[in-house]
Each structure stands twice: as C-alpha cells, then as structure tokens.
Amino acid sequence: MTKHEIRREIFQQRDSMTPEEVREKSEKVCLYLEEYTNDERCKTVMVYLPTGNETDIWPLIKKLLTQGKRIAAPLCVSPGVMVPCLIDDLEKDIAPGFYGIMAPIQRREIPLDEIDLIIIPGVGFDREGNRLGYGGGYYDRFLPRLRKNCDKIAICYEFQMRDDLVPEPHDFPIAIIITENGILKIPE
C-alpha cells in the first residue's frame, strides 16, 4: 500500500469511532502517559492540540496546567515549519489556525532546549518506531532539533499500529509509542 492508501484506511477507521470509543481509549493512553508527565524532572511538556477523533489529550493538558507544568503547543509559522509556543490558559491562549487546527494565538516561543517531553501525534506507527505523519513534514523537521534527552513519545490507537510502513531517509524514528494497550519502548 502507498502512504496515501494507508492514511485513507486509518482515517476511515478513526472517523468511524464513536465518541465513547474515543473517550475510553484516550483515557487509557493518558494514564500511560502520566508515567512520564508525573516525573518531577518533567517541567515543560510540548503537546499537540487534538482535532476530530485524534487521541484526546485535552483532559491531560488541563491536568498538567493545574499541576503547574509549562505547556507548549505547535504554532505553524510557514509550510513545514512549527515553533513551540507557551499556553497558560486553554480558554484564552488558543484559536483555530492552519488547517483549522487549534494553535497558540500569540507567538510566545519556548526555547527548544527547555522542552522535557513532547507528545507526538501521527496517522500510523510501526513496532520499529517509524511514524507516518499527515504529510506536511512538520514533525520530521522539528524532532531532530530537540535535545537528545527530551522524551519523545508518540501516541495513537492500537489500530494505527501497522506492519506495512516503509520509512524514508527524512523520517525521524520514535523510541516510545503509547496506545490504549500499553507502552512500547523501541530499543535504540
């Protein structure tokens, strides 16, 4: 299958999920994520702002804010380029941006070396840590710029785990993938 065909197949399956399925699976993913976000060394977390039936981390983002964690979210500044921007208040600091995806309103950039953990979305993943993104290359360009000891954690539903992904040279491998069924650590 081509990347386009794999994306289409996964989108169809994801779009067919009921709100209850999204909530149940997302809650499980967030519980596993908390093993990392609760670490006292984890002070700044870069999140994505979910849309549609993506793994819903909104409750986790709210919880992290109440715990006093610094939260950054991607702001797309040009095609293929995003910067991490500070979010203090989910009611006041975000609005629809590129592609209708929620994004920070103000460009209050956080230095890359201050990000302790990043939660990475994707369309599909495999058990070797390969990621199939949405096709814009944003994360493939962004992730290599983060410091080596920043926890880079991808999250998805179990059905997004595939055996038929073909990595390309520019793809950035992921070391930790979390689904509703658990945590997969890929040896480096």
Encode pLDDT of 62-94 as tens digits. 999 999 999 999 999 988 899 999 999 999 999
How many structural domains comprise the chain? Answer: 1
Check which CATH number belongs to the domain holding 112 and give it: 3.40.50.10420
Instruction: Give me the domain span that covers residue 47.
Output: 3-185
pLDDT classification of 55: cutoffs 50, 70, 90: very high
| Over residues 47-58, mean pLDDT | 97
Residue 21 Cα to chain centre, angstroms: 19
Selection from 87, 20, 92 nearest residue 56 by Cα: 20
Spatial contact of 45 and 72, defined as CB atoms under 8 Å apart: yes
39 vs 176: CA distance, rounded Å: 16
Q: Provide the pairing of β-strand 151-155 with 176-179.
A: parallel
9: pLDDT strictly greater than 90: yes
Please enumerate in sequence order all residues whose Cβ is within 8 A of that of 179, keeping only pairs 6 or more positions apart, or say none.
29, 155, 156, 157, 158, 160, 161
Structure confidence by residue, pLDDT tens digits, 149-180: 999 999 999 999 999 998 888 888 899 999 99
Distance from C-alpha of 50 to C-alpha of 90, rounded to nearest angstrom: 13
pLDDT in tens, 22-44: 999 999 999 999 999 999 999 99
Residue-averaged pLDDT of the chain: 95
Beta-carbon contacts of residue 66 (< 8 Å; ≥ 6 apart) = none
